[in-house]
């Protein structure tokens, strides 16, 4: 396939694997976190970890916005969706995320008008096609997705679409990374940085990782060779005693990010004082809400939203998986009570969730032999 084959070339992959092997010290264990769910998916889809020495361990981070949505927030969404006259719109993967009582998919089966959209613009289109109904868009995602929501809100205001609003659950990437770095039960040697979040925010926001915590990071693309090269870059930094932000994904990510997107986000959103993350608890300044200028489009102000915190199911160890403390297959319910068809935890819902990635690509349990 044009443009793609060169990023999946087996010989180049083997060469990178040899380079990685040459960079690691025998007897030393390296723990690298890939922040982004897209990387987790690619790693297991292409078997990237099979090319790594056994003493290089990849830990799967919290970069899946579906996986980090707490149950109480799903309950809020369902409460809005069930109100009279509402058409509730969301991305597909949110449909199966369990709330305390049911998922959006089950609420839809019970009669709520819930529709899957591919973009916020689709939701706005539904609003314009149904002026007698209230159309709510459930906005989730990191800084990659937030500009898309912001543009749609701006368009809704410019076009005076009164029956459109947004239940904003956007999150930001830096606060959870800082929380992980502060976590006493997790010792990491470096990071594979998120590719498309960085398209928007740039590489600069990650400078605190080497500056404050002394850990190297390489922002990576999503093809197998991208990931292998980023791993090699991080290991080379460690080997050479360097510690900085490197950008493997220069063909897409500018160091300063997309300034227009950042300005737009600053106009449309404000930081929440705190936001709850599944498994990570409340993290300060980690969630976005609509700014005062866009309050008229805020579904939390337009509708009654319970806002009740709900504890995660006891059997579910998503929190430990999200922090990289355990591997998915070490969870008590992985692949038995919790499967992609009937998920208990969010990590099994999204195909980018670490548990679903392990399950779908047959990684039920595995330990690599030490070389």
Partner 1 sequence: MSAGASADREFASRHCITCGDDGEPMTVVAVDRERGLALCSSDDGLRATVETALVEPVIAGERLLVHAGTAIARLAPGSGAVAR
Min dist CB 154 to partner 1, Å, is 8
**Considering the rule CB under 8 A, would residue 133 count as an interface residue with partner 1?**
no
Answer yes or no whether residue 125 interacts with partner 1 by CB under 8 A. yes
Q: How far is the CB of 214 from partner 1 (least distance, A)?
A: 25
Instruction: Check binding of 144 to partner 1 (CB under 8 A).
Output: yes
Question: Is 147 an interacting residue with respect to partner 1 (CB under 8 A)?
Answer: yes
Asked if 197 and 144 count as a contact pair (C-beta separation under 8 A), the reply is yes
Among 350, 355, 358, 359, the residue binding partner 1 under the rule CB under 8 A is: 350
Binding mask 292-331 for partner 1 (x = CB under 8 A): ----------------------------------------
Residue closer to partner 1 by CB (options 250, 368) is 250
Q: Binding segment for partner 1 among 72-80, 196-204, 240-248, 328-336 (CB under 8 A)?
A: 196-204
> Which residues are near partner 1 by CB under 8 A?
2-4, 6-8, 36-39, 41-42, 45, 63-67, 89, 91-93, 115-123, 125-126, 140-142, 144-145, 147-148, 151-152, 155, 194-197, 199-200, 221-223, 226, 251-254, 258, 260-261, 264, 350-353
């Amino acid at each position: 396939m044009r443009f793609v084959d060169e990023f999946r070339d087996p010989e180049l992959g083997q060469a990178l694997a040899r380079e990685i092997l040459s960079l690691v010290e025998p007897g030393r264990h390296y723990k690298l976190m890939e922040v982004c769910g897209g990387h987790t998916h690619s790693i297991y889809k292409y078997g990237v970890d099979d090319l790594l020495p056994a003493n290089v361990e990849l830990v799967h981070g919290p970069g899946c916005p579906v996986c980090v949505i707490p149950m109480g927030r799903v309950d809020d969404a369902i409460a809005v969706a069930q109100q009279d006259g509402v058409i509730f719109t969301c991305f597909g993967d949110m449909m199966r995320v369990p709330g305390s009582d049911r998922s959006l998919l089950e609420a839809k089966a019970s009669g709520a008008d819930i529709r899957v959209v591919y973009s916020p613009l689709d939701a706005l289109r539904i609003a314009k096609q149904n002026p007698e109904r209230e159309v709510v868009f459930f906005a989730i995602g990191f800084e990659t997705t937030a500009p898309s929501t912001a543009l749609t809100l701006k368009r809704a205001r410019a076009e005076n679409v009164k029956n459109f609003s947004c239940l904003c659950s956007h999150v930001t990437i830096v606060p959870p990374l800082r929380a992980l770095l502060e976590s006493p039960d997790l010792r990491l040697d470096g990071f594979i940085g998120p590719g498309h979040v960085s398209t928007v925010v740039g590489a600069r926001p990650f400078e605190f990782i080497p500056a404050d915590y002394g850990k190297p990071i390489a922002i990576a693309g999503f093809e197998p060779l991208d990931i292998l090269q980023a791993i090699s870059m991080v290991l080379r930094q460690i080997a050479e005693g360097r510690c900085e932000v490197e950008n493997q994904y220069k063909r897409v990510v500018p160091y300063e990010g997309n300034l227009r997107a950042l300005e737009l986000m600053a106009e449309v959103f404000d930081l929440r004082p705190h936001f709850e993350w599944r498994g990570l608890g409340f993290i300060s300044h980690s969630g976005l809400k609509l700014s005062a200028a866009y309050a008229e489009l805020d579904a939390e102000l337009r509708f009654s939203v319970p806002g009740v915190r709900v504890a995660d199911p006891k059997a579910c160890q998503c929190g430990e998986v999200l922090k990289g403390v355990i591997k998915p297959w070490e969870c008590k319910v992985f692949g038995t009570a919790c499967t992609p068809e009937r998920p208990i935890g969010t990590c099994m819902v999204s195909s980018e969730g670490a548990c679903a990635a392990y399950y779908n690509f047959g990684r039920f349990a595995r330990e690599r032999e030490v070389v």
